[in-house]
Amino acid sequence: MPFQSAFSQLFTQDVIIAWAVFGLVLFGIAGAMVYSRYRRKKGQGPSQAVDANRTEIGYAAALVCIVVFLVYSSFTANAKDYPDPPKPAAQVTVTGFQWCWRFHYQGTSFTATGQCQGLRSLPVLVVPVGEPVRLSLTSTDVIHAVWMPQWKFKLYAYPGEVNTATLTIPRAGKWMNRCAQLCGLYHYEMDFWLQAVPPAAFRSYLRTGRL
């Protein structure tokens, strides 16, 4: 699953860098406080230095190097998320509406939907395990967004526009997903399930509408 692997790798890397920077700054503040006490004890006044241009230029150059590295990681991770799409095993049109979801499996006459009022009535998006599935996101009214927190994936669903992404869910299971763009009164109820089942079970689901 590209979105999840790219996220995990990059998040770990950038969070480590962030902690390092945060630690250095905290250390700098604490150090300055201790140094101030030390100077006071020795009867020294505040330092008269007004700048340290060479140090500052060197520091800025170091920042540029870090930024180049961060931008490079950002680009490579993003390229993994939206590669040239593999041939999908299934194509699903995901339609958001106020306030629920509809899943139409392209090439079949099968459409699944639900009520979005409490856990039992949520619609279920069924996909085959380990096979690429292309989602085409759209909306019939306002802007919605599909968010699959477990799989680190989010994409907006616009009225009159189709956004596509290809997901490959690596293992069987059932996960809660949410609408991530404010879409009106019952935005907070617009949840749906993502369920990954073995490919054979998926094909029979398309025929019978049942798992």
**Chain residues 99-118 in contact with other proteins, contact rule CB under 8 A:** none
Chosen residue from 84, 110, 131, 159 binding other proteins by CB under 8 A: 159
50 binds other proteins (CB under 8 A): yes
Site string for other proteins, 177-206 (x = CB under 8 A): -xxxxxxxxxxx--x---------------
What is the nearest approach in angstroms of other proteins to the Cβ of residue 69? 10
Asked if residue 155 lies in contact with residue 87, where contact means CB atoms within 8 angstroms, the answer is: no
* Shortest reach from residue 198's CB to other proteins, in Å: 26
Residue 170: HSE in the Cβ half-sphere, 13 Å Cα cutoff: 7
Position of tokens 């009159």?
160
Return the number of the residue (100 or 183) whose C-beta is nearest other proteins: 183
Tell me the per-residue interface mask from 3 to 22 with other proteins, x by CB under 8 A, - otherwise: x--xx--xx--xx--x--xx
- Bridge partners of 150, per DSSP, are none
Region of 53-61, 83-91, 123-131, 199-207 interacting with other proteins (CB under 8 A) = 53-61
* Strands across the sheet containing 100-105: 111-113, 100-105, 90-97, 132-139, 163-168
Stretch that binds other proteins, among 56-64, 86-94, 100-108, 196-204 (CB under 8 A): 56-64
Residue 45 is which amino acid?
G
Contact between 126 and 197 under an 8 Å Cβ cutoff? The reply is: yes
Pair 137, 162: CB distance under 8 Å: yes
Say how many C-beta atoms besides its own lie within 10 A of residue 56's C-beta.
Answer: 10
CB of 62 to other proteins, least distance (A): 9
Strand, helix or coil at 87?
coil
Residue 196 or 202 having the CB closest to other proteins = 196
* Alpha-carbon separation of residue 131 from 1, 3, 119, 122, 172 (angstroms): 10, 15, 27, 24, 12
**Beta carbon nearer to other proteins, 2 or 128:** 2
Q: Which stretch binds other proteins (CB under 8 A): 85-93, 109-117, 139-147, 202-210?
A: 139-147
Q: Does 141 bind other proteins (CB under 8 A)?
A: yes
Tell me the Cα Rg of the chain: 25
